[in-house]
Structure formats: C-alpha cells, structure tokens
Structure 1
Amino acid sequence: MSIKHAFYAQSGGVTAVINASACAVIETARRYPDQIGKVYAGHNGILGALREELIDTSQESHEAIGALHRTPGGAFGSCRYKLKSFEESEAEYRRLIEVFQAHNIGYFFYNGGNDSMDTALKVSQLSEKMGYPITCIGIPKTIDNDLAVTDNCPGFGSAAKYLAVSTKEASHDIASMCDNSTKVFVMEVMGRHAGWLAAAAGLAARQNGDPPHIIVFPETPLNKEKFLAKVKKTVDEEGYCVIVASEGAKYADGSFVSASTTVIDSFGHHQLGGVAPALCTMIKREHGFKYHYAVADYLQRSARHIASRVDVEQAYAVGKAAVELAVTGKNAVMSSIIRESNAPYRWSIGEVQLEEVANYEKKMPMEFIDDDGFGITSVCREYLEPLIEGEEYPPYLNGLPRFAKLKKVLVEKKLNDSFDV
C-alpha cells in the first residue's frame, strides 16, 4: 500500500501567526516519511481542493518553509467559502473526496475557525461512507478568539498585543494635544459577535483613569445616553477620552450601531465597519468635542513585527500536534490549548472532538466585563495578560522585516473535469 499524502489548507481571515502553524505541519510531516508522503497545500484554501489546485510543498526548500514561522498572512492563500450541508450540496463534498483520492491524499489538515472545523468533520464522515477514509484534523486559528473548548486561539495573542500597544501609544498622542485640540479618540477593532479584541485593548490601562476610558463590546448593548454621559464625565475629569469600539457593537434591539446591507461572503455576513465614525458623530452632536478615529482593520491581524512570543509558540505547537495526532491514528479531532496556570503562565497541548467545536462561538463571559459595561475586570486581565507576553521579532533587512517568498508549484491535475465554485 502506497504512503498517503497530506492536504493542508488555510481558511478565513488570516493572522500574524497562521503561517507558523503551516510551518509546523510541513516540518513535522517531513519527520514521518514512512507515514506521510508529500504535503500539498490548497491554493486559496479549500477552493484549491475543489479546483484541484494543489501546491506541492516538497518543492520548497527547508529554509523557505522555516521562514514561514516569521511571516504574516496566508502563504498559500485563504478564502471565505462555506461548504453547504450534505443535503444542500453533497456534490461539493464528493468533489473533495474525488480530488483527495486522485492524488492519494489520506490526511486533511484544516487551519481555521469553527466553520472550518465543521467542514473537516463532514469530510471525515463522508469519506467513510464513500469507502475512502480520510484522517481529518483541525488546527485552531482566529484573531477573534471565539473557538469553543480551546483556552485561546492562535492569532489572537498577537492581534491583542498590537491593539493594546496601539491604544497605549495613541493615548499618549491624544493626551499631549487635548488642551486645545482633540478631546476624543475612537479606535474601531474587529469582532462581529465577540468582544475579545476590544477587551485586549483594555490591557493598556494599568490604573484608574488610564485609557482606554471606554470599551464598547458586542456582548453589552450600547445605551446611547449612558455612553454619552460617560464621555462627557471622562473629558471633564481627564481632559480627553479614548474609546475602543468593536465593529459588532449593537443596540438593545439587536441592531448594529453601524452595518451595511451588503452581504460579503457565503456565510451570509453583512459588511460591518463604520462604528468609529458613527460614535464620533454622536459625540460631536451631543458635546461638540473635536475627535479623531482610526480603524485597525487588517493592521491588527497582520502585525507580525510585534507578535506575541506566546502566540507564535502556540501557533507552531498546534500545527505540530495536528500531525502527531494524525500519525498516531486520531481522527475528527482538533489540537487545542490547555491553560494550566496563570501565574506563572503554563500551557500544554490537548485535543478535542471536532463536533465539540464545529459551529460554536465563544463570547466574552460577563464576569470579564465590569459593572458599567465599559471596561474589563481583573479576572479578564488575568486571562489576557499572559497571551501577549514576549516578543518574537522577524529578521530585518534595510529597516524592514524579511518574510518568506514561496515558489508555490502546482501539482499536475489528474481529473479531466473542472468544478465551478
């Protein structure tokens, strides 16, 4: 029986450290030549499998693969593509199995969020039914930190560090100019339903009165009158007000503070954004304060120059563990992070069943949000602080970081038909 190859794919919004997981999968698989042949990577995520566009990572040097460890973004390409249910489109799943079978692929490593874990689970189940079983292992990834069961998600720690540092730095700027210039600064961060990133910016505050003075979470409905009163009180007492707002901020009726009607992907998500200017307009009308705002957007998820060392280590560890789980016979599981203690911070790698993770969303627990709904508690701080610890800088050349450059050689197609996606 010939040795099976592996397929690795990156899914959804990328992070500063997702390539560290890719690096770990490829490097670890190369240490098991008797069990895993080549590692093929999906060109643009799962679409690469559906289109039979497989990147042969064996064509990349050890140095190039090693450089992924310090490179942000998705080196092989990612996508936001939701596979439908079996009932809606069994053809998509059958196509995946056909491509895997044609290329002698027996391992599927899917690096993504909760929808990705659902896909990996379904592929595992259908492959059994089709008589071509595939070992499917999930690798956690998301800056949103909203995967269930695992203590935290690789990608989050580095985004959290970037936001906390940026909030602290911008606050010094505002404090310098508030006497006769800007009184209010609002930073908009990602987070559709979960406020983990907004909470992370709260780490910038070390004592009472420190910015950010107000955090707007998706988990707590925005009370406009209460919010505006707190802005006024903060400016009166501190001279300025720094606000961090999640893009998913909502009112009590469930409507977003700012969202368009445009559907942006196959998940049915509406385009979010515009919370910062919406809040600034609200403040200007009520109080007349001069304001500035910033939208962290892709900067928060690509800031490899200030990545958390803990995050980089955990991203590599879950990728390495995924391969080790596969070669020891595990299937339909996801490698996970287990917190053993806060002080000192200790963690280890575990595993969870994909069905425990698939399509679940972990929001901020209410004990992490303070009583007035605009700040984080000490319990939240104890959870967050270890995740941003340490620096793991990439090498620099002429003042700029050096990142990996891959050849991305595609494998010759074996199926005659094309598949429209």
Structure 2
Amino acid sequence: MSPSRRSPAITGNLLYAQSGGVTAVINATAAGVIEGARAKGVKVYAARNGILGALREELIDTSKESAAAITALRHTPGGAFGSCRYKLKSLEDNRAEYARLIDVFRAHDIRWFLYNGGNDSADTALKISQLGKAMGYDIRCIGVPKTVDNDLAVTDCCPGFGSVAKYTAISTLEASLDVASMAETSTKVFILEVMGRHAGWIAAAAGLAGEGADAPPHIILFPENTFDEAAFLAKVKATVERVGWCTVVASEGVRNAAGQFLAEAGTRDAFGHAQLGGVAPVLAALVKEKLGYKYHWALPDYLQRSARHAASAVDAEQAFAVGKAAVDYALAGMNAVMPVIVRSSDVPYRWKVEPASLAKIANREKKMPKSFITRDGFGITAAARRYLAPLIRGEAPLPYGKDGLPRYVRLKNVAVAKKLAGFQR
C-alpha cells in the first residue's frame, strides 16, 4: 500500500509522542511530522513525556509554536516534548489503559497517532493500531523509527544510529591519538564503553576510526560474541607489544560464557531490561590484574545520543524524512505501518522511505550479521565497513551564538486544556 492524498471524509487532529531514549536527531523527526501536517492543514498535538502524557491527558498544542521554532528542532538534541520508558500490557491484561487512551483520543478528536520509538514502542504502536476495531473508535496508528542501537527489523538503518556511529568513530580516533602520544611513559590501554545491550552496531561503528591491524580500535567486543577472557588478554598483550598501546571498544552488553552481563548492576528498567553498571571498569581491572598495564577508560553514556554537534548529515536527513512520511501514511488512511529506510545502493549511497508492516517489526531485534565480524571476533569486516560508512557521511551544521555555544530551541509547549477526570495507572 502506498500513500495517497488525504481522504476528505476524515478530519481531526494528530497526536505525536516520543518514546524511550532520545537521540541527537529525534527532534528532526518531530519537525518532519509537524511541518508535514501543517502543510496539509492538520493540527498536531504532542504528548508530554510520551505515552504517559496521552494517558494523563497532558497534551501540547504545537500550533502555538512559530515556524522558525519548529525548523530549529532539526538541529536540537534531546526530546522536545519529553519521553518515557513505559510499555503497555496487552488489551486483555490492562483494558483500563486502552479505554483511557480512547477516551483521550475521543475528547480531543485525535484520529491519527504517531509513536516515535524503538522495538518496544513498535509493539505499543501495533497494539494501539488495533484499538479502533476492538473499542469502536476510528484511530490510525503509525510507528516512527528511532533508536541509537540500530536494532529495528526491516529498516536498513534506524534514524539516530548514524549520528551515534559518527560520534563513536570520531571519539575513538581522537582518544587514540591522545593515547598514542602518551604510551611511552603512561597509558598503555584505553577502553571506551559504548551503548548496545544486545546488538553491537555502535561498537562496530568504532571500527570506522581506522583500518588495518595496527590502527585503532585494535579490539572491539560485541554482545553477539561470548567474552573469552584468555583470548582478550592475549590480544591486548600482543597489540601493546607490537604497537606500543591498545584501544579497546566494548559494548555494554558483553556477556560471559554463563550468559551473564559483565557489567550487570542487578536492577531493571520499565521494559524489564537489565540496568548495566559499566563493562569498561571491569575490563580495566582485568587488564591491570593480569597484565599490569596502566589504563584509562571512558563511559560516554548519554553523550553518545545527545552529541548533535557531531551529527551525521545523512542521519539528520533520514530522521526528518521518516517524520514527514509518517504523516503522509497516516493521512492516506494507512494503519499499523512504519516508514522504513530502504537502501538501493552502497556506492553511490542511495536510499528511500517505504511503508512496512508493524507486525514484521514489533518485538524483533536486528543483531550484527556474522559476516560483519572478523573471524577472531575482535573487528569488523569489509562488508560491515561498506554498510556503516555511508551512514556517518556529511556534517549537519549548527547555528552558534556569540557565547560560542550552539543555539538550540526550547519550545513553549503550551498545554491543551483538559476535558477528562485524572487517571491513575
């Protein structure tokens, strides 16, 4: 099914919500949604703090924002309307939440719901897309892709990933130059920990920093591979003896032979995911204990997903495009679909946006193909490099103020008057 012009029989408002961890370019998607809807004469409400805002009837009227402010979202990191980690249960297990959503939709004449998130959010979007038939209300739901982990199924890549990949590759390159200059009398091993609980896409992106056995990163630890302590230490030792120093990039989701996260902190988030406490210090202690090398480690954490100053131009463009396409699909009457990136060529890099069924995306996780990881398990292959390289290309310039800092926008986020009684979840 391809998008067509909006049916004149359907009128109403559009609700947009951001979900899960934000990215450097998720607001570019918001800009695509709002600008696309405005061009078609449709009012956009935004849910404050994601799906919780919809449940609490805490809606924001984006029509109160100027065109310049919405345009500025394209270069502003964070989540302009707030996000949350909250997963709806099944309709059978928690009918009250779904009934509440329908009440809110009906009260504010919301006929289209666009949910901007990752795997769990795609599942929520799919569930909400089924509300119309189940509860007698005409609502169309479109999932909009966003995740730094690049682990959504079907889409070639995820908006948000290209910028994290670029930041990671740059950080690996720059830190390695620093380590190399000090290795004679100081640090011999540098460990950079990156996000990626189950999929090693971000760790793999560090491999773009250099090419060849002596170029950093010398070791990449992927969650797709079981951590082998002996092999890791042997690789570190051999690299230091040959090169003089060693850069290691480790995914937070690295596990041991027993299937346990090396960095397990023992707590879990709202989606049931383990809260990881830091694999880099674990590896650093191992290097110190077994090899005696002086080390430094870094945990960029939120810096990875908020580094708009190092965003990829390709990523920013794709993020905007999926937002605009989501509006087109919604107004064309589509339901339970997601605009995904389709790659048509590596060289030159070409891509387009097409609709894909949410049923093929929800609760499915795309991990690194075996063909992307070298035989020794510590690097990326030429195939991985061909896939990753186009995603970090180009710069997405920022406007800077006289103080030398980027000029990011803070929206007014004017609240829509509530019409319903409060809701307790």
Q: For the superposition of Structure 1 and Structure 2, which TM-score range results when normalised by the shorter chain?
A: over 0.9
Per the TM alignment, residue 221 of structure 1 is displaced from its structure 2 partner at its CA by: 0.3
Question: 2:351 corresponds to which residue?
Answer: 347
**Structure 2: distance between partners of 1:252 and 1:287:** 22
Answer yes or no: is 1:6 the counterpart of 2:11: no
Per the TM alignment, residue 2 of structure 1 is displaced from its structure 2 partner at its CA by: 7.9
Answer yes or no: is 1:57 the counterpart of 2:62: yes
- One-letter code aligned to 2:27: N
Q: Secondary structure at the match of 1:220?
A: coil
Question: 2:312 corresponds to which residue?
Answer: 308
Question: 2:80 corresponds to which residue?
Answer: 75
Q: Give the 5 Å matches for 1:2-401.
A: 3-33=11-41, 36=42, 38-263=43-268, 265-397=269-401, 398-401=403-406
Q: Secondary structure at the match of 2:93?
A: helix
Aligned residue-pair number: 416
CA contact (8 A) 2:131 2:139 kept: no
**Structure 2: distance between partners of 1:133 and 1:291:** 59
CA contact (8 A) 1:202 1:212 kept: yes
Q: Secondary structure at the match of 1:88?
A: coil
Stretches (4+) displaced over 4 A? none
Per the TM alignment, residue 207 of structure 1 is displaced from its structure 2 partner at its CA by: 2.7
Cα deviation per residue 1:220-250 (whole Å; 9 max; x = unaligned)?
A: 0010001001000000000000000000000
Per the TM alignment, residue 206 of structure 1 is displaced from its structure 2 partner at its CA by: 2.5
**Structure 1: distance between partners of 2:166 and 2:98:** 38
Per the TM alignment, residue 55 of structure 1 is displaced from its structure 2 partner at its CA by: 0.3
- One-letter code aligned to 2:326: A
- One-letter code aligned to 1:139: V
Cα deviation per residue 1:372-416 (whole Å; 9 max; x = unaligned)?
A: 001000000000000000001110112111111110011000112
**Structure 1: distance between partners of 2:167 and 2:141:** 33
What root-mean-square deviation, in Å, do the aligned CA atoms of Structure 1 and Structure 2 show? Answer: 0.9
TM-score normalised by the chain length of structure 1? 0.98
Question: 2:5 corresponds to which residue?
Answer: none
Q: Secondary structure at the match of 2:168?
A: helix
**Structure 1: distance between partners of 2:332 and 2:93:** 34
CA contact (8 A) 1:304 1:393 kept: no
**Structure 1: distance between partners of 2:133 and 2:327:** 20
Cα deviation per residue 1:60-91 (whole Å; 9 max; x = unaligned)?
A: 11111110010001000000011111222111
- One-letter code aligned to 2:424: D
CA contact (8 A) 1:187 1:276 kept: yes
Unmatched runs of 5 consecutive residues or more in structure 2: 1-8
CA contact (8 A) 1:161 1:388 kept: yes
* Percentage of identical aligned residues: 63
**Structure 1: distance between partners of 2:97 and 2:355:** 28
CA contact (8 A) 1:333 1:352 kept: yes
Per the TM alignment, residue 258 of structure 1 is displaced from its structure 2 partner at its CA by: 1.3
Cα deviation per residue 1:139-169 (whole Å; 9 max; x = unaligned)?
A: 1000000000000000000000000000000
Per the TM alignment, residue 46 of structure 1 is displaced from its structure 2 partner at its CA by: 0.6
**Structure 2: distance between partners of 1:21 and 1:274:** 31
Cα deviation per residue 1:24-59 (whole Å; 9 max; x = unaligned)?
A: 1000000111xx3x1000100111000000000001
- One-letter code aligned to 1:241: C
Per the TM alignment, residue 330 of structure 1 is displaced from its structure 2 partner at its CA by: 1.2
